[in-house]
Amino acid sequence: MLQSLSCRCGRLAISRPISSGGIVKNIIRSNSNKTEKDNSTGSSPPIDENGLYYGKFTKEEYDSAAKFVKEQYGRLEQDIKGDFNIRENLGKVPQFPQRDAKGSTKVKDLTDLFAQTIKTTGPISLSAYIRQCLTHPEFGYYTTRDPIDTRSGDFITSPEISSIFGEMIGIWLFTVWQSQNSPSNIKIIEFGPGRGTLMHDVLSSFNKFIFKSRKSVKIQINLIEASKVLRLEQWKTLCGEKNSFNTTEEGFNSSKTIWHNDIKWLDTEKDVSNEPGVANYVLAHEFFDALPIKSFQRAEEGWREFLVEHTPSVVNTQPKLASSPSEREPQDIDHELLETEFHLTLSKKETPSSLIPNLNTRFKDQPVGSRIEVCSEAELYIMKMLQLLDNSKGLGAVLVIDYGLADQVPENSLRGIYKHKFVSPFIIPGEVDLSVDVDFGNLVQLASKHCSVYGPIEQGDWLHNIGIGYRVDQLIKQNEGNSEKQEKVYNSYRRLTDKDERSMGKIYKFLGLLPNDSQPPIGFNESL
């Protein structure tokens, strides 16, 4: 994946190039630094003793990428020059934001923002649309509400169904910790912690086993959460109101959990410190599915990007309703909510982002008409998580739990969910939850170069391997005589592990990333 083009402002910058993007990165740097003298003398890139350009690329790889970059420079130069005198449009360009009758320029909501933006600059990228819908500071879905509130939220997640889910992850974490010689200083980091329910159940189980082990362990908790609304919910869930909600000198919120663990809230992944001698254990549950994507279709001339256009009364049928994940569980489809002012349109020309599928070998054999979704930010986040592993000492682990495809490239999975119903992802921007299928194949491809990879494995299989059946049987026996409680436990177990269309056991996948040469962790290929 072309990393240098897929990075976004405020996101993690990884120094190691990804795939063939590194070739282009070096070529662009080389071209930008050349002088007239260099061109006249025909200077060439550095070649090492093995005949590799920049010490990494074969001559064939370099020549191919160099040709591609040269063509892109030519197209860019032509686009900059244009076909007409730009001064002809002076006084004709619409003002942004538009003024109303009273002269005000206030934008009321995201629908207003997108409409004015598109009228001014033309169609916007799908990734920009998704990012604003979910994280806009004033109108974003996640920044202005609790999306999994049991009364007003649009969906529920596995931890909200039963505490057994988090207990099983706590057991997995404890066994991994034991297999790494029980490090005395650890940090548990969660990306996208929701209301804190999963972390609560994980810590409840993990701390219990640590106590029984009679080992002295310093446990730090880091939650990466930008939403002030959710931070307060997490504090209530994990700390209780007796432990104060503080602000550190660096500006981060902090407190103590009810198990006396230090806890800190961080704004972004860049705030996570990688401290020497500390084993980092990372959890990412339903995190990658909410990251912005770009969508492309292969035309005769090459890959073309789907952009978001503003057109009143467009009926959008983008969501893959038949294969959508059941845990979001909308009851039916409201066709009136498929009518929207926005829709996707296919760019007639190459966009800068067209470089992304062009330079990824996973897509080179896709036939004309193929459609793909690419999440560049997922690559940056998985690389950050991998940086938290200590391969030299064999410490740390990453556990990714999400729904998506194990060995296929997502094609058209962007969906909207509003009041437990499937809707167009372009209806009421900022009021609708947006999600996509996670490309596990891409995550595995990237991670396998840096660590030991286990999975992805279906959730139902993973939970059974851990021992959820024994735990459910224990709870049912403990509640003998309380048929209502027994039925609730059993139904929750079936919901988490069954593989029918209404359950989570198949659509959800578990992916484990551990330091190189680690012993296989439980859950992925063996039972507890």
- Taking the C-alpha atoms of residue 476 and residue 474, their distance in angstroms, rounded to an integer, is 6
Question: Could you count the other beta carbons within 10 Å of the beta carbon of residue 490?
Answer: 14
List of residues 6+ apart from 374 with CB closer than 8 A: 1, 293, 294, 295, 296, 356, 357, 360, 439
Encoding tokens for residue 16? 């190691």
Name the residue among 80, 77, 136 with its Cα closest to residue 108.
136
Q: What is the DSSP string of 407-419?
A: SS---S--EEEET
Is the pTM higher than 0.75?
yes
pLDDT for the residue 329:
45
Which DSSP category does 188 fall into? E
Per the document, the length of the chain is 528
- Taking the C-alpha atoms of residue 368 and residue 300, their distance in angstroms, rounded to an integer, is 6
Query: Three-class SS string for 57-71?
Result: ECHHHHHHHHHHHHH
pLDDT for the residue 102:
57
Question: Could you count the other beta carbons within 10 Å of the beta carbon of residue 398?
Answer: 24
Name the residue among 228, 223, 252 with its Cα closest to residue 238.
223
* Contact status, residue 85 vs residue 66, Cβ threshold 8 Å: no
pLDDT for the residue 49:
73
Taking the CA atoms of 47, 52, 57 and 58 in sequence, report the sign of the dihedral they define. positive
List of residues 6+ apart from 430 with CB closer than 8 A: 109, 110, 132, 133, 136, 139, 140, 141, 144
Which DSSP category does 324 fall into? -
- Taking the C-alpha atoms of residue 477 and residue 405, their distance in angstroms, rounded to an integer, is 37
- Taking the C-alpha atoms of residue 401 and residue 158, their distance in angstroms, rounded to an integer, is 10
pLDDT for the residue 59:
82
pLDDT for the residue 335:
57
pLDDT for the residue 62:
80
Residue pLDDT tens, the chain, 528 long:
333 333 333 333 333 333 444 555 555 555 545 444 444 444 567 787 777 777 677 888 788 877 877 777 777 666 655 555 544 444 444 545 555 555 556 788 999 899 888 888 889 999 999 999 998 888 988 877 765 554 544 445 666 678 999 999 999 999 999 999 999 999 999 999 989 999 999 999 999 999 999 999 999 999 999 888 889 999 999 999 899 999 998 889 999 999 999 999 999 999 999 999 999 999 999 999 999 999 999 999 999 999 999 875 344 444 443 344 444 444 445 555 556 789 999 999 999 999 999 888 889 889 999 999 999 999 999 999 999 999 999 999 999 999 998 888 999 999 998 877 778 899 999 999 999 999 999 999 999 999 999 999 999 999 999 999 999 999 999 999 899 999 999 999 999 999 998 899 999 999 999 999 999 999 997 544
pLDDT for the residue 330:
47
Encoding tokens for residue 473? 């049987």
pLDDT for the residue 30:
52
